[in-house]
Amino acid sequence: MVKIFDTTLRDGSQGEGVTFSSNDKIKVAKALDDFGIHYIEGGWPGSNPKDIDFFKKIKSVNLKTAKIVAFGSTRRAQNRPDKDPNLCEIIGTSAPVATIFGKSWDLHVKVALGISLNQNLEIIEDSCAFLKDQGKEVIYDAEHFFDGYRVNSEYALQTIEAAQRGGADIIVLADTNGGVLPHEIGPVFKDVEKKISLPLGIHAHNDSDLAIAITVEAVRCGAVHVQGSINGYGERCGNANLCSVIPILRVKMGIECIPDKNLKKLAELSRYVSELANMSHIMNMPFVGESAFAHKGGIHVDAVMKNPKTYEHIEPELVGNVRRVLVSDLSGKSNVYYKASEYGIDISSLEDHSKKTKEVLKKLKELEHMGYQFEGAESSFEILIKKLINQFDDYFSLEGFRVITEKRGPKEDVLSEATIKVTVDGEKELTASEGVGPVNALDRALRKALTIFYPTLREMRLIDYKVRVLDTNKATEANVRVLIQSTDGSEIWGTVGVSRNLMEASWLALVDSISYKLMKDEKANKKIKRT
């Protein structure tokens, strides 16, 4: 059994761009506990008000599995343990577990602390002893252990022996600078086990892009305690990514750590923490990223349709992920068949299905050559397929639109106004709307006109709008690609438009977005038209 120690809320929050409020930290802690994490490091209580607030609030949370951990350093050289502010702050949190770090590298002792080597050993021992006397479970993080061991193995070992004498419950060997290599782990652990009878753990940083490999190798060499963070957040290049470490241990190596039933929550946990950290979710993250089980090449898709094992190392469902098939100019017939089946279309049952599929592929490649990209706009691709196989009816037609943008004075805001004329079942509607920009005005005018005929459009709103200039060497005459994300509260969908004119590209994406909403409502037997 390997115990999982999560440091997302402490070391992870030190990563560039990562921000958690104290309430966010409570939400993350609840999610980690629900997932089955054994230890949750809440923060350094003496370092900032946010962490102090977290430890106050977490006392009232009923956790099912996890133990809350307060983090800090060994005492300062001039302080007695019971008078050291850092150690007293840890005690004051009422957290059942304390993690403290101490110096293993003689360079840090001499240069950073400016004390003797023997004095550092005393500090480590009596800091651990003080926390144990206060009834804490003590986890000792041997900071820079591998660097220290490399230059002075005898002293590095003496530091963790001091922690053992002080009553530490677990000794964690830390690759603080992220410079150790996997093949160096085994000999170090063998030497440590000759001196230390306590359970050993590993804390790896990712500066050499090896934190996961280091962690897995450490477990293979006897570590029973693993530290890391969700999504690998942390200082500099981050920590060992638990979203990879956990499935490697459980699925690949058969080691007990997180219950199998909980493993299916991993992808959801990863995205949830990204959202609360105010970070974009990394699409190509192994196991939990959107692209982890996404297939694009036609040969790959054909093989996966026959047997997923051909191009997937595990079943995506084991970690709560899903298989995705992408469509692009690299697609083959298998991609089209697979995507069509997702939309409930059985192309193989159509007359001349082979011809129809070739037409879809030909059109797809033409559009991608123009600059279309359907990987983030699958709703546009669904509409395209249905149009090409004559299973799509236009919900409205455009008679014309006009967009005016003007600035009436140097101190006045720029104003945009769109006028649009559409026809629905032979009935024409002319309307206008203002917006903060031309696209916003056009979007408002279009939906204002169509809501008269289709009331369910009131549920819909745009949540993202991206513009990409494609052939930049053509400057302002370049093609632009507009990607739009829309939602009606129950689903999010993406659509795309491409043109040399920004407004036309936006119009094409808007039309697909609205058409998809009406199409899905109709499919759900929802009454979409006014009576």
Asked which of 184-188, 296-300, 348-352 is least confident by mean pLDDT, the reply is: 348-352
Mean pLDDT of 259-265: 96
Tokens of 286: 């192994």
Q: Where does 345-426 show beta strands of DSSP type E?
A: 397-406, 415-424
Question: Between 527 and 25, whose confidence is greater?
Answer: 25
- For residue 422, the model assigns a pLDDT of 95
Q: Which residue has the tokens 């677990």?
A: 170
- Looking at every residue in the chain, the average pLDDT score rounds to 91
Domains and CATH numbers, the chain: 3-277 (3.20.20.70), 294-378 (no CATH), 397-523 (3.30.160.270)
pLDDT of residue 242: 98
Question: Mean per-residue pLDDT for 232-260?
Answer: 97
Q: What is the band of 424 on the pLDDT scale with cuts at 50, 70, 90?
A: very high
Q: Alpha helix (H) ranges present in 390-501?
A: 438-451
What is the model's pLDDT at position 531? 60
pLDDT the model gives residue 304: 83
Helix (H) or strand (E) holding 337: helix 333-342
Output the CA torsion sign for 54, 59, 61, 67. Answer: positive
Q: Is a pLDDT exceeding 80 seen at residue 364?
A: no
Residue 333: pLDDT band with limits 50, 70, 90 = low
275 has pLDDT over 80: yes
Query: Tokens at residue 294, please?
Result: 């996404």
Q: Once rounded to an integer, what is the mean pLDDT over residues 197-221?
A: 98
Buried b (16+ CB within 10 A) or exposed e, 205-238: bbbbebbbbbbbbbbebebbbbbbbbbbbbbeeb
What average pLDDT does the segment 389-398 reach?
Answer: 88
Q: In the chain, what's the furthest Cα-to-Cα distance?
A: 92
In this prediction, residue 67 carries a pLDDT of: 98
Q: Is the pLDDT of residue 329 over 60?
A: no
Q: How far apart are CA 488 and CA 482, in angstroms?
A: 20
Mean pLDDT of 465-489: 84
- Is the pLDDT at 45 greater than 80? The verdict is yes
Q: What is the mean pLDDT of residues 398-425?
A: 90
**C-alpha span between 323 and 291 (Å, rounded):** 9
Q: What is the pTM of this model?
A: 0.75
